[in-house]
Structure 1
Amino acid sequence: MNAMILRWIGVKFEDRRKLAMMAPVFFLCGISELLNYNGYMTLFNQRFGSEYLPYVYGAEAVIMPLEAWFMSWLTSRLTKPQLMRTLFAIMGVIIGVNAVALLLFNSMDISPRAYYPFLFLSSSFVVRQQTILLWSLAVDLCPTQQAKRLMPVFVSSAALGGIAAGVLAQVVSKWLGADAVYMLAPLFLLAGGVNYWKSIAYYLVPLTLKQERSVASGAAEGGLSSGDYFKRSFTTPYLLVAIGIMTLMPALYFLMEYVFLNVTRTIYKTESEFASFFGLVTTLLFTIALLLQLVSNRLMAWLGQSNMLPAIAIIFTCGFVAAAATFGTSFILYSLSMGYMFLYLLLYYFAEPANQLFFKLLPMLQRDGYRYIAQGVAASLGILIGALLQSLHAELGFSLRLLVWVGGGGGVLLVLMTYIGKSLYIRELIRSVQTMSDTRQDLALAFDEYMRENKSPLMLDQLLANSNDYAREVALGMIGRTGDDTYLPKLLALVDDRSARIRIASLRAMNLERAELQALVKVASFLEDPDYEVRAAGVRLLGRADHMRHQAVYFVRLKLLDSSPKVVAEAVKALYYLQNEQSFEACYEVIQRYLKEGGEQTVYICRVIAELEMYSFLPDVEQLLGHTDPAVRAEAIACMGKLRHIAAIPWLLEQLEWAEPALYEVTIDAFIAMGSGAIEPLKDVLQQAQPKVWSAAIRALAALLDEAECQSVLLGAALLKLEELWKSRDIEAALYKMELSTRAELARMRLTEHKAFLLDGVWTVMERIAESDVVFAVRRAIEDEDEEIRESGLEALAEGSADKRLTAALLALFEGWSAPHTDMPYEQAVQVLRAAAGLQDMWLQLLASDALRREENEPLSGQQALMGMLDKVVFLKQVPFFSDLSLEELGYIAGIAVEEKHSAGTRLVASGEINNKLGVIVDGSVQLLAAGSKNGMIAELGPKDVFGETSAIDATAATTTARSVGEVRILTLLGEEMAKLIRLHPEIGMGLLKASLARVRMLEQKIAQTG
């Protein structure tokens, strides 16, 4: 039932928590805002006089810059959550104090007239800031796509709050008066504050834990001073017009409000009647707002964003003309009420987003600066001009009817300004696109949006003829999205264009549905392009030429012999799309050949097999799972996933324990691609799987299961695995008890690796059962290097809305992991190690078995008398050259390391001769000698140093001689074996590269110091 309701209102199931938290805030605060507005407007107009509105609006225009300074001051001193809470508290205090004051005045039966301007100004501040505050919070809490779904619901909630406030105002004012209407406002604000406070704790605090480090650098690169923003805003024509529009609209609204209130006051003379009618208008206003919200998307799509402001300006003008035409008749109240309501709705609900059009063309880093300047200037000037227009009646004695005609004239001026603004915007848009210096996605989107709303072939032609490649790409992308085949001749003419990017873009933009043979031949000329990407795009296009299938096949078949594997792969796909059975045999031969060749050819053809769902090649692809090339293995696994080859899951799970990171991620994606068929096999491994395998299974299941199943299946598995990890720390403590500190450090290293994999899985589960963006932010903070950020992350985790059991388990792990190991009785240590000897993890099993063997004093075999596997790993862990490798990777290195002993004076590496060995000194020392010199010693190396590393892997000539000083014991690594290991496990190569670069930097520093 809940899911059906969510679908009906257009939101997803995972949005429900945020919706349930925030919708009541908008509803209750919407009631509070409108009760506040209704109350203070009624009290001021009835007890102080609507003829004084120009003066309070003038005072407000003076106060607003101070208000902006105060807000800026608060923003610079408080974090975002603190700012949100502080502002909400300030607003609550203001209307709370006003409510108490009104209550005291009523109880004392007094009505101090001087108080009501203060009531107006302070309450107006609350209304103004409350709207900004709530929408700012909603924008901060919702990622872009979620915001598109939830914002209409929040708008509807606020509109329903307005309707409820209107009904309440009518009822309460009738029986208890306007004072009681105002007094209800802080109560509803307090009620909405409960969820408001929770939403900040649950969502905003985590999202703002770690501010983007790029802000400062971005400001340095693209920021301007306030003076620069101000100067450029008033010297850029289309921005100046934008400020004029943003100023004139509120000025005209305040004029309409003034006339409406004065006329209403003459008809409804008592305070209760005025408040009741004002409540009715509020109810109608927000009912219309709710109805408009239901059709707003269609309305904006029909009009187009660039036509919204002219449409709003025309309605403004019509509102004033209708009021002027009915002045002195019985319809005046109706026309003024409708004019007031529509101007209110258009100004606050439609004009604000429409005004943002002008800022889309500005650079992203400068956009907010211009927007704040424009809004600040427009807000102050709008109120000031509105007050001056009102004073035409209050001070100069203009009749209200004449005032309405003045408003009509202002409306006509507004219409002219919006059309001028639109024209300037289009001119600036074209200029910006024509002078693009990079692929600015925001400009391309703005142009695309405008072209969808306003078909303009001339504008596209101008851009196609432009010398700027970025501008031409934008135009070609637009042509491709419209599918307009009338541009085909112009696109074909680009076959000889100097830029490969333009040639590719032109091919992508072509529509061959009604193309003739001559056009097809011209497209075929792209197939001989020197750039293989262009040839591939041409083949892809011909694969869609169904109406000239035989001719297209003729050209495409030739590309089966192309030198580029990508072009050949596209040719195979095109021939299948064209359903040319005569070519299938040739395609099969190509596929079989490419599957055997390995490298890039095999990678591309695996993608073809997956895309065309060629299940007959499954056995061949399965053979590639053990290929030596990691790229081929990865593509074969991805192909297995896309073909939903469930039978491969057991083998893939087996290999996961030894998979390098890239292959590990590809395997998880393959499980997800297999769909529901992979669920049961993956569930089966959750109980007994090694942490690395468990994490992969849990991450795949989190993507495959719905939220309810994640709660019932994955949550329990995550809790159990965290408990197992915590108990595994006893292995470290047991090894320390056995006085095997180096082994204990290895156990700690392995358990830390387990912890990383388990946390990957646990965080994924949390993202599925809580808000994913919030969980991601908390995780990022907890993993940060800054201790203060980590502490804040842990606090946010503790206060968050995720499952309390999982949260508690994670907190215990984070807070206790770095604590020293606990001491334990010797007998308990032996029991822990005996249990660990039966674990699935090879390294923990090996460490435990080795400790038990030592405890039982078992004799060493001949092989073990040298250095066993574990001894090699313990030693290699202490060698700086291997410091960036994991325990697993150290194990691979130890597996190919051979222990050797050499007597004094042995030449281990000879300068100028081919060297294929890397040596690691275990005991003794080795001298490095300069080429051609017996005594020119460069350095003397000791235990844990390496030599021969610069020439071993690629078997090149050594640049120095290495000679033993006394008896020396070394671990030798053959370069060929290391190269094979790096191909299978690229992360080892990255680790060794980091170590090599560190040595180079150290050498450079020494040279610089000696220089």
Structure 2
Amino acid sequence: MNGILRAVGARPEDQRKLLLMAPVFFICGIAEMLNYNSFMTLFNQRFGSEFLPYVYAAEAFILPLEAWLLSWLASRLPKPKLMRVMYAMMVGIVGVNAAILITLEGLGMDARWFYPVLFIASSFVVRQQTLLLWSLAIDLCSTQQAKRLMPVFVGSATLGGATAGLLAQLISLAFGPVVIYTVGGLLLLLVWRRYRKVISDFLVPISLRMEAASVEEETIGAGAVFKHALRSPFLLMVILLMTMMPALYFLMEYEFLSIARMSYVNEQAFSQFFGMITMILFVLAFLLQLVSGRLMEKLGASQMLTIIAGVYVLSFAGAVIFGGGAAAMPVISLGYMLLYLLLYYSAEPSYQLFFKTLPLAQRDSYRFAAQGIAASAGILLGAGMQFLHAGLGLSWQLLSVIGLAGSALLLVLAWYGRRLYMRELVRSVSSMSAADIADSFDEISMNPAAMEEARRLLDHPSDTAREIGIQLIGRLHDPKDLPLLLGLLEDGNDRIRIAAIRAMSLAGADLPAMAQIAKLLEDPDDALRTEGVRAIARMKQLKEQAFFFLRQKLLDRHPSVVAEAVKAMYSLGKEQSYEACREVIDRILEEGGEASVYMCGAIADLELTAFIPAIIKLTEDPHPAARVSAIRALGKLRSEDLIPLLLPKLSRMDEEMLSASTQAFVDIGQPSVKPLLASLPDAPAKHWSSAVMALSELLGEEDMRGGLTQEALGRLSELGKAADYGAALRVCGMEKLASLADMRWHEVRLLVFKGIWAMLAKLTDERAVEVIRTGVTHAEEEYRSNALEVLSEGFGDRRISQAMIISLELETMSRPKMERDEAMTLLEAALHGSDDWWREMANEALAERKGDMAVTNEGQIMNRLNKVVFLKQVPYFSDLSLEELGLIAGVAEEETISDEDILLKRGEPQSAMYVIVEGNIELTSVSAAGWEGTIGVLGPGDVCGVTSALDGSPSTVTAQSLLGDARVLKLSGDDVSRLVRLYPEIGIGLLRASFARIRLLEEMMMRIDS
């Protein structure tokens, strides 16, 4: 299966979505074209192709009503329900039509009035079926996934069309178009169940987010667009192109259907011929899809439309020349197929690029309004040209001449439109986003005027405009632009200088250019020096000179530059480069600390496995960032020795290190699977969550639905039992511990769910899981209940989703009152559980019962649980989770301050903050008037030294013990800063309490001055 996925450009995570949706597109593609083949055959043979102009004119007036109806439905129904209702409506329309046709056939009745109704109703089904499926695909796929899967869906639908053509021919051998129409309806019914499953599995979860984030958008009406078009030749040209191309196609279709009717008077013969044309058409469409991307890339949107207009001219010229002879049928059939292919598979995507030149905020409104105008006008114009023959009796020859004249006008419009488009493109270059530049780059690069405009942007006063110009030049990779970019190295804006270096094409650069770039190697800015090193490394044609400059950077003052220099030296491929680098690498790894962070990344990028033993030592480095980078590097180097080192530490890791460890298991690959699976039973929640997340990436769906699912169900069952620990502690009269137990239960549930969500993301769809994950705990009742409803439907795995719902309902579920003996039994069971927090709490409660308490009395050392209980009462930390409190308790050192000893000294920097446990701390300072006095006395639960500890500034107060010894918890500033970075709630708590402290100190200072 993985081989097939790779062959179509998909990934393993796309498998389920692909297997569900590709058959829907294939079968619906068959149904659509069987529907189209049969109703066109029935209309032409039983009602007459000469009435096509009237039906198309009616459609032109019905289209706005159709749009209003769909808009009305969309405003009143959620997206999933709208999709289901629309599909049911289409099945119903086809079913009713098929029933009427079968009845008429069975009774031998000829109700000619019904066939225009059949035409209009079936056209609605074909039109909406196409929109419905592509809208569903776009909604379900993220941008990157859409790039991988949309070609597969397009291919499936196209092959479905070709299959429909073959089926129509086969069915026509024994039956007529009524049976073909009925088979199309049955196929729509056949795929209905799978279509609903796609919606329930993927769209329903995503729609929760759509509804929660929906906002009213300002739209621009068709009238405003039309008025603007009258003032804008470019927009007018776009609308004319979008109108004339389908209008001329309808004329060619009319000629094709009319001549086919004259050639095949029998319904079965006509249907068989039309089936053959459909099959050939979609085989050609499939082949066109294989090359259309490359054609668009090579020619650009405007050039593509000019070529398409040229094909229109040739097709109608063929109809004029051969229309009256024996070759009329094949020539007009070929013209019909070519115009169909080019209109729907090449022209439509090309139109969209024209709208890239419009302001982003108005782009979609202009696009939809222009498409609405063009759709109605195109049908009316096409119907009008058809009427020249059907109503006024114009000859086929003259009708083809009119088509040729229209095609010639279309060619002139396309050619002139290309010039207008380029002019608009040049004007919009300075205001385009990076994404638009990327989409339009091929057009810009092929137009000298646009590229000259981009080069002129380098002198623009706006830095943003200059950056856009640099990006455009950089994508062109033209060595001739090197002097322009070198001139920007003297710019005063570092961002411009960095962008210029990155944009340079240095493959053919000479020594003076290298010397100019080498000046950056001594720039004060670290990022510029790093970019300079990368640029020198790209100049492979000057290896000796590059070696000279790069070797000096091995001794740079910043470790990031040194690491980049090592990578650059290795890229030179010289033995002396390797030797110089090895010395630097050994030295930095031996020193450890912050410098090793960048070097570990460089070693991983270069895959230097010889340094694995030295990096393993860094996993015990005192510097946290060094440990994290070492783990990441060892994972990328696939070092199996890392696995036994990490597993025992997972439960005690902070968020950053845990994330790095989880990714390391994934990077190491299959060797991680067995140890991770073996570690799951009785693993602490954090360990279990990390292991399951890694296994979700490493295991196949079958393995996940087996053993891993059972493990998840077992963990959820344990979680249900643990929900009563808080109640048991309350029965024992330990309210503070009970609150911590409840807090811990929520944290453990969050960790367990985190692992399970990772499993479900691999079993279903990552975006859908993220929406449900957010929804089940959302503050808005409707959003939350909708998410729970999706989960209750058996999302991903029915057993797991049901167990998750039970766990979510536990906190609101009323339970019978617990007896003391039952509580003690439950706490004794907690002693043997997997969570160390619950074990400590249970041990504390049971020790109190036995009179052998380990709680802190005066003078005793506080254990971790005591510290957490105490810190929870401190305003600075009261809003933190138990996990976060535990991390603070882990870095907090208990100290005793003797009477009158100084804790902080005014004017001196401090590296730690202090939380007072017992005793009093006096704060003194000097006022603006020079008076020294006491500004406050702090007691248990108060904090001092926060500002100095976090920013390294001198203390503004002197703090000393007052009236006896004091006990404090000392927190290193570096440790607190790291925890704040990893856990923002800690920083918010510190900030909130600091504001309160500032207000208090201001009041105290006012008292001193007075």
CA distance in 1, matches of 2:542, 2:471: 25
Correspondence for 1:446:
439
> Is 2:791 the partner of 1:792?
no
Once the two structures are superposed, what CA deviation does each residue of 1:638-666 show, in whole Å capped at 9, x if it has no partner?
23333333323333333332222122212
Distance 1:746 1:431, change over 3 A: same
CA-atom RMSD in angstroms: 4.0
Whole-angstrom distance in 2 between the partners of 1:587 and 1:52: 82
| 1:63-115 deviation per Cα after TM superposition (whole angstroms, max 9, x unaligned) | 21122122222222222112111211222222222233333434444333333
The answer (yes or no) to whether the contact 1:885–1:988 under 8 Å persists in 2 is no
Residues 744-770 of structure 1 show CA distances to partners (whole Å, capped at 9, x for unaligned) of 221221222222222221111222232
Question: Structure 1 residue 700 and structure 2 residue 694: aligned?
Answer: yes
Q: CA separation in 2, counterparts of 1:602 and 1:978?
A: 22
Q: Deviations over 1:950-996 (max 9, x none)?
A: 667668555699999xx99986333xx34254156346884443124
Q: What CA distance in whole angstroms lies between the structure 2 residues aligned with 1:617 and 1:935?
A: 59
Which segment drifts farther, 344-353 or 987-996?
987-996
More divergent stretch after superposition (836-845 vs 702-711): 702-711
* Whole-angstrom distance in 2 between the partners of 1:862 and 1:23: 66
Question: Hey, what does 1:667 align to over in structure 2?
Answer: 661
1:15 partnered with 2:14:
yes
Equivalent in 421, 424, 428 of residue 420 of structure 2: 424
Which SS does the other structure have where 1:973 is aligned?
strand
SS of 1:145 mapped into structure 2: helix
How many Å separate the matches in 2 of 1:988 and 1:536? 27
Using the alignment, how far apart are the partners of 2:854 and 2:209 within structure 1? 54
Alignment partners' CA distance in 1, 2:800 and 2:67: 44
Amino acid at match of 1:685: S
Name the SS of the counterpart of 1:159 in structure 2: helix
1:128 deviates by 1.4
1:569 is matched with: 563
| Post-superposition offset of 1:213 | 6.2
Q: Structure 1 pair 751/372, CA: closer, same or farther in 2 (3 Å)?
A: same
CA shift at 1:800, angstroms? 5.3
Alignment match of 2:728 (pick from 730, 734, 737): 734
Amino acid at match of 1:874: V
Q: Secondary structure at the match of 2:255?
A: helix
Change (3 A) 1:772 1:325: same
Contact 1:737 1:823 in 2 (8 A): no
Pair 864,449 (structure 1): closer, same or farther in 2 beyond 3 Å: farther
Assess, with a 3 A threshold, how the Cα gap between structure 1 residues 852 and 77 changes in structure 2: closer, same or farther: same
* Aligned partners of 1:867 and 1:899 also within 8 Å: no
The answer on whether the counterparts of 2:426 and 2:449 sit within 8 Å (CA) in structure 1 is no
CA–CA separation in structure 2 for the residues paired with 1:152 and 1:423: 31
CA contact (8 A) 1:483 1:511 kept: yes
Segments of structure 2 that go 5 or more residues without pairing to the other structure are 1004-1010
CA contact (8 A) 2:50 2:258 kept: yes
Superposed, 1:208-247 pairs within 5 Å as: 208-211=207-210, 216=215, 219=217, 228-229=224-225, 231-247=227-243
Farther off after superposition, 412-421 or 861-870: 861-870
1:368-413 deviation digits (Å, cap 9, x = unpaired): 2121111101100000111111121233321121111111111112
- Provide the secondary structure at the position in 2 that maps to 1:398: coil
Equivalences for residues 157-172 of structure 1 within 5 A: 157-170=156-169, 172=171
1:333 Cα offset (Å)? 1.6
AA of the residue aligned to 2:157: A
Question: Which residue of the partner structure matches residue 347 of structure 2?
Answer: 351
Structure 1 residues 998 and 585, CA gap change in structure 2 (3 angstroms): same
1:414 equivalent in alignment to 2:413: no
**Normalization by structure 1: what TM-score?**
0.88
SS in 2 for 1:810: helix
Identify the match of residue 993 of structure 1 among 984, 987, 991.
987
Structure 2: distance between partners of 1:608 and 1:948: 39
**Offset from partner CA, 1:761-817 (integer Å, 9 cap, x none):** 111122223232322332232243323212212222233552333223323222334
The equivalent of 1:807 in structure 2 is 801
Measured against aligned partners, the alpha-carbon deviations of 1:13-68 in whole angstroms (never above 9, x if no partner) come to 44332233223322332333233323332333333332222222112111211221
Tell me what 1:55 maps to: 54
Structure 2 equivalent of residue 38 of structure 1: 37
Match of 2:72 in 1: 73
Distance 1:61 1:491 in 2: 55
Give distance in 1, aligned partners of 2:591 and 2:211: 46
TM-score by length of structure 2 reads 0.88
Moved more, 120-129 or 600-609: 600-609
CA contact (8 A) 1:899 1:969 kept: no
Distance across 2 between alignment mates of 1:417 and 1:25: 39
Equivalent-residue separation in structure 1 for 2:855 and 2:539 (angstroms): 73
Matched, 1:397 2:393: yes
Correspondence for 1:842 among 817, 836, 843: 836
Mapped to 2, the partners of 1:490 and 1:77 lie a distance apart of 57
Between the aligned partners of 1:206 and 1:231, the Cα distance in structure 2 is 41
Q: Distance in 2 between matches of 1:19 and 1:356?
A: 26
Contact 2:635–2:667 under 8 Å retained in 1: yes
For residue 181 of structure 1, what is the aligned residue in structure 2?
A: 180
CA contact (8 A) 1:925 1:968 kept: no
Q: Distance in 2 between matches of 1:865 and 1:260?
A: 101
Aligned partner of residue 972 in structure 1, secondary structure: strand
Alignment length (residue pairs): 997
Structure 2 residue aligned with 1:881, among 871, 876, 884?
876
Give the drift of 1:845.
1.3
Equivalent residue, structure 2, for 1:781: 775
Name the SS of the counterpart of 2:969 in structure 1: strand
d(CA) in 2 for partners of 1:255, 1:301: 30
AA in 2 matched with 1:602:
S
User: Which structure 1 residue ranges, 5 or more long, are not aligned?
Assistant: none
Could you say if the C-alpha distance between residues 665 and 234 of structure 1 is closer, same or farther in structure 2, counting changes exceeding 3 Å? farther
CA contact (8 A) 1:434 1:466 kept: no
Shift of 1:892: 5.0
Q: Kindly tell me: are residues 928 and 848 of structure 1, through their superposed partners in 2, closer, same or farther at Cα, counting changes over 3 Å?
A: farther
Partner of 1:764: 758
1 CA distance for matches of 2:361 and 2:135? Answer: 19
- Aligned match of 2:1008: none
Specify whether residues 498 and 781 from structure 1 end up closer, same or farther in structure 2 by C-alpha distance, changes over 3 A only: same
Query: 2-side partners of 1:226 and 1:992: how far apart?
Result: 53
**How far is 1:862 from its partner?**
8.1
Equivalent residue for 1:263, pick from 236, 254, 259: 259
8 Å CA contact 1:313–1:415 kept in 2: the answer is: yes
Identity %: 43
Matched, 1:156 2:152: no
> Which residue of structure 1 lines up, in the alignment, with residue 599 of structure 2?
605
Match of 1:384 among 380, 383, 393: 380
Structure 1 counterpart of 2:357: 361
> In 2, Cα distance between the equivalents of 1:195 and 1:841?
43
* Amino acid across the alignment from 2:878: S
How many Å apart are 1:503 and its aligned residue?
2.9
